[in-house]
Amino acid sequence: MDKPPRVLVIGGSIGGLLAANLLHRAGCDVTVFERAEEDLAGRGAGISAHHGLLDIIRRICPEIDQSIGIELSTRICLDRSGRIAHQTELPQFMSAWGRIYRLLKAAFPAARYHFGMQLERVDQDAGSVSAVFADGSHIRGDLLVAADGIRSTVRAQLMPEAQPSYAGYVAWRGIIDECDIPPAVHAEIFERYTFCLPEGTMMQSYPVPGRNDDTRPGHRGYNFVWYRPTDEHLLLPQLCTDTAGRRHGVSIPPPLIRPKFIAELKTTARATLAPQIAGIVERTEVPFFHAIFDLESPRLTHGRVALLGDAAFVARPHVGMGTTKAGLDAQCLTDAITQAGGNIDAALVRYERERWQFGTRIVAQARRLGAYLQAQLKPRAQRSAAELQQRPEVVLREIGSPLVDIRELSINRLT
C-alpha cells in the first residue's frame, strides 16, 4: 500500500477489536472509538466458538495456547431422570467473552483505542468519511468500520429499514465455579457439551474459563444457556421491569431481575430438567437473560462505510457464530484491502459480495434451528409434530456444528 488507509473503527468490543487488530497488522492507520467509559470485560459469559475464530486470533496473537479455551469432543443429551438419552462425538471449542476481549484488547495499541467516544453520525463525500461524536468532535478517515453492535448507530442512519426482530424466546444464562459442582455430577457432565430437551425449551451447558480466565482443572467455570419461549407483549416486559416498577427496554441489568422470576426459573428447572443440570441452575447466584433477535442488513457497505459483526447480521446463538462471524468479516475486509493494494472502493465491493451472502445464510440456518422454540408461543393444537418434540440426535448434530457441516453454507460452498 502506497499510503496506509486511515480506518476509523466504531465500537471496541470483540468485532471492533478483531477488525482493528487485523487492519493494524496489515499496515492500515487504525483508531478505535468506543462509547463505554471503561473496559467492557465484565460483560457476557461463556461462548461457544468455531475453530475458524482461533485461526484468526492466531494471526493477531501467534503465541496463544490451549489456555484460551476448553476443547470438548463429546455431546450428551440427558433425559428428565438424568440418564443419557443420546450421545455423539463432535468437537466444540468453548471460551469466555471476557477471555477473548482481554486478549484482543491487550494486542491493540492502547493509544489508538479511545473510550468515552459515542458516535452520533457519519458524513461522507466521494473519497472520505467523517465520524461525528457526541462531544462535538469529528475525525476524517478513508474507511469507517461500523462494529457498533445490534443497535448500531451507523446502520440506523444509513439503513434505517434494517431492524432487529425478536425471535419469541430468551436465553437464561448463568455460570458457577467448577469447584461448586458435586463430584459425581462433575464426573458425569463437566467435560461434555450437555443438552436437556424438555418440551418447549432447550438447555445447553458446558465448561468455560473460570475466574481470571483460568482454564486449569478445578478452576474453570460451568455455564448454562436455557432457551425459554417468552411472549413479547406479556412476559418479556414483565421480566424487564425491576422491583421499583421501572421498565428497562428489552434487557435488564442482572441484579435488577425480580426475585420471583429467579425463583420461577429454579422451580421449573427442578420440575423439568435432568437433576444434574437443575442443580447447576439452583446453585447459580445471579442468573440473567438475553432476548434473542434476528438481524439482517440489506447491504454491508455504504460509500466508505463497512458494517461488521453484530452491526451487520445477528444470527440466533444456536449456530455459536457471533464471534466467529465477526472474525471472518474482519479477516475478509483486511484481506480485501491488502489484495486491492489499499484501494478501499475495490475492497468494499469484494467485502459486500462475500460477507453479505454468508450473513444471510447463517441467519437462515439459525432461524431454522430456533423455529421449534419460536413455535411454542402458538397454541399446542396448532403445532406440527416437529414443533411438539425435538429429536436429540438432530439437536446434538446441528447446534453449533462446524462450518463445513452447515447445510445453508454448502449451497455454492462459501469460504
Ligand X SMILES: Cc1cc2nc3c(=O)[nH]c(=O)nc-3n(C[C@H](O)[C@H](O)[C@H](O)COP(=O)(O)OP(=O)(O)OC[C@H]3O[C@@H](n4cnc5c(N)ncnc54)[C@H](O)[C@@H]3O)c2cc1C
Q: Of 149 and 342, which CB lies nearer to ligand X in the complex structure?
A: 149
294 binds ligand X (CB under 6 A): no
Contact 369, 316 (CB under 8 A): yes
Which amino acid is residue 68, in one-letter code?
Answer: I
From residue 54 to residue 93, the character string flagging contacts with ligand X as x (rule: CB under 6 A) and all else as - is ----------------------------------------
Could you please report the per-residue DSSP string of 325-392?
HHHHHHHHHHHHHHHTTT-HHHHHHHHHHHHHHHHHHHHHHHHHHHHHHHHTTS-GGG--HHHH---H
The strands making up 138-141's β-sheet, listed across from edge to edge, are 119-124, 129-133, 138-141
Using CB under 6 A, pick the residue from 14, 208, 236, 403 that binds ligand X: 14
d(CA 83, CA 183): 17
From residue 95 to residue 114, the character string flagging contacts with ligand X as x (rule: CB under 6 A) and all else as - is --x-----------------
Q: Segment contacting ligand X (CB under 6 A): 122-130, 146-154, 189-197, 214-222?
A: 146-154
306 binds ligand X (CB under 6 A): no
128 binds ligand X (CB under 6 A): no
Using a 10 angstrom Cβ sphere, with 0-12 exposed, 13-18 middle and 19 or more buried, the burial of residue 371 is: middle
Place of cell 476524517: 140
d(CA 119, CA 132): 6
Contact 274, 82 (CB under 8 A): yes
Q: Of 142 and 148, which CB lies nearer to ligand X in the complex structure?
A: 148
32 binds ligand X (CB under 6 A): no
Query: Which residue stretches of 159-255 are H helix?
Result: 183-189, 235-239
Q: Segment contacting ligand X (CB under 6 A): 33-41, 69-77, 242-250, 332-340?
A: 33-41
Q: Of 174 and 342, which CB lies nearer to ligand X in the complex structure?
A: 174
297 binds ligand X (CB under 6 A): no
Min CB(170)–ligand X separation in Å: 12
305 binds ligand X (CB under 6 A): no
Min CB(62)–ligand X separation in Å: 22
Using CB under 6 A, pick the residue from 13, 31, 331, 376 that binds ligand X: 13
Instruction: Give the per-residue SS3 of 115-160.
Output: CCCCEEEEEECCCCEEEEECCCCEEEECEEEECCCCCCHHHHHHCC
Using CB under 6 A, pick the residue from 31, 48, 205, 297 that binds ligand X: 48
Using CB under 6 A, pick the residue from 7, 47, 333, 362 that binds ligand X: 47
Using CB under 6 A, pick the residue from 1, 43, 199, 285 that binds ligand X: 43
327 binds ligand X (CB under 6 A): no
- For CA atoms 252, 254, 255, 261, give the dihedral sign: positive
Place of cell 457526541: 134
d(CA 98, CA 207): 15
Using CB under 6 A, pick the residue from 24, 31, 68, 148 that binds ligand X: 148
Q: Segment contacting ligand X (CB under 6 A): 46-54, 162-170, 199-207, 383-391?
A: 46-54
351 binds ligand X (CB under 6 A): no
205 binds ligand X (CB under 6 A): no
Q: Of 34 and 188, which CB lies nearer to ligand X in the complex structure?
A: 34
326 binds ligand X (CB under 6 A): yes
Q: Of 9 and 336, which CB lies nearer to ligand X in the complex structure?
A: 9
CA distances from 377 to 233, 234, 387 (A): 12, 12, 11
Q: Of 323 and 342, which CB lies nearer to ligand X in the complex structure?
A: 323
CA distances from 105 to 40, 68, 205 (A): 10, 14, 27
Which amino acid is residue 77, in one-letter code?
Answer: C
Using CB under 6 A, pick the residue from 33, 93, 224, 351 that binds ligand X: 33
149 binds ligand X (CB under 6 A): yes
- Per DSSP, the three-state class of 206 is strand
Min CB(60)–ligand X separation in Å: 15
Contacts with ligand X, residue ranges (CB under 6 A): 10-16, 33-36, 40, 43-45, 47-49, 97, 117-119, 147-149, 153, 309-311, 317, 320-324, 326
